[in-house]
C-alpha cells in the first residue's frame, strides 16, 4: 500500500457527472456512483449504492434479490477505468476494454440497500495494458475480489 496522501475532491468534484465525463457507460450499465479518493496511478476508492430499483433484480432472483457477481466485477473494472482515465486530459482519453479476470472470488451476497465500496489498486501498467487488483466491500466485509486486466484503445 502506498504511503502517499490520497487526493480528495473539492465538494462534489467526483460525482456522477464527472464519472460520466470519463466513462462511456450509461444507465443501466454505469455501476459507479461516486469517487471518494483517487491517487493517480495508484488506487481509487469509489462506491455504488445498490437499490431495489436495479433492472437486474427483476430476474436475479424474484423474491430474493441478489446482485449478479459479474456486475460486481464490472463495477470494479469501471472503478479501475476511472483510476486509469480520470487523471488523463479529456482529449487524450481512450476506451478501456476488459481483457481478463483472474482469481474472482465471491464472499457474500450483495442485496438492495447495500453500499458497495470499490477499492482498486494498480498492479502494473505496460503500454496500453494494465492489471488492477480490486475488492468490493459491504459494511467492511469483502463481498467480491478479483484481478482484472484491461487494454486501452482509441475512442
Q: Residue 135 sits in a domain of what CATH number?
A: 3.10.129.10
pLDDT category of residue 51 using cuts at 50, 70 and 90 = very high
Q: How far is CA 140 from CA 10, 35, 70, 122, in A?
A: 25, 17, 20, 21
pLDDT tens digit string along 98-129? Answer: 999 999 999 999 999 999 999 999 999 999 99
Per the structure, how many domains does the chain have?
1
On the question of pLDDT at 155 being above 80, the answer is: no
60 annotated active-site: yes
Q: How far is CA 72 from CA 77, 91, 109, in A?
A: 9, 29, 10
- Could you tell me the pTM of the whole model? 0.92
Residue 3 lies in a domain: no
Catalytic residue among 25, 34, 42, 60: 60
pLDDT category of residue 6 using cuts at 50, 70 and 90 = low
Q: How far apart are CA 106 and CA 53, in angstroms?
A: 23
CB 90 within 8 A of CB 24: no
Q: In the prediction, which pLDDT does 8 show?
A: 55
Enumerate the β-bridge partners of residue 34: 47
Helix or strand run (H / E) with residue 135 = strand 129-138
pLDDT category of residue 2 using cuts at 50, 70 and 90 = very low
Which residue range is the domain that position 122 belongs to?
Answer: 16-153
Residue 8 lies in a domain: no
pLDDT tens digit string along 12-39? Answer: 689 999 999 999 999 999 999 999 999 9
Q: How far is CA 17 from CA 13, 43, 121, in A?
A: 9, 20, 23
Residue 20 lies in a domain: yes
pLDDT tens digit string along 70-107? Answer: 999 999 999 999 999 998 888 788 899 999 999 999 99
Residue 60 lies in a domain: yes
Amino acid at each position: 500500500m502506498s504511503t502517499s496522501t490520497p487526493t480528495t475532491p473539492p465538494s462534489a468534484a467526483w460525482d456522477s457527472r464527472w464519472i460520466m465525463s470519463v466513462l462511456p457507460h450509461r444507465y443501466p450499465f454505469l455501476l459507479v456512483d461516486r469517487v471518494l479518493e483517487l491517487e493517480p496511478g495508484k488506487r481509487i476508492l469509489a462506491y455504488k449504492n445498490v437499490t431495489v430499483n436495479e433492472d437486474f433484480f427483476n430476474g436475479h432472483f424474484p423474491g430474493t434479490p441478489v446482485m449478479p457477481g459479474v456486475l460486481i466485477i464490472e463495477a470494479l473494472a469501471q472503478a479501475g477505468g476511472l483510476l486509469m482515465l480520470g487523471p488523463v486530459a479529456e482529449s487524450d482519453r481512450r476506451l478501456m476494454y476488459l481483457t481478463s479476470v483472474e482469481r474472482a472470488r465471491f464472499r457474500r451476497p450483495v442485496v438492495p440497500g447495500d453500499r458497495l465500496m470499490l477499492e482498486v489498486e494498480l498492479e502494473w501498467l505496460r503500454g496500453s495494458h494494465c492489471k488492477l487488483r480490486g475488492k468490493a466491500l459491504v459494511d467492511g466485509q469483502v463481498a467480491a475480489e478479483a484481478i482484472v486486466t484491461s487494454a486501452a484503445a482509441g475512442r
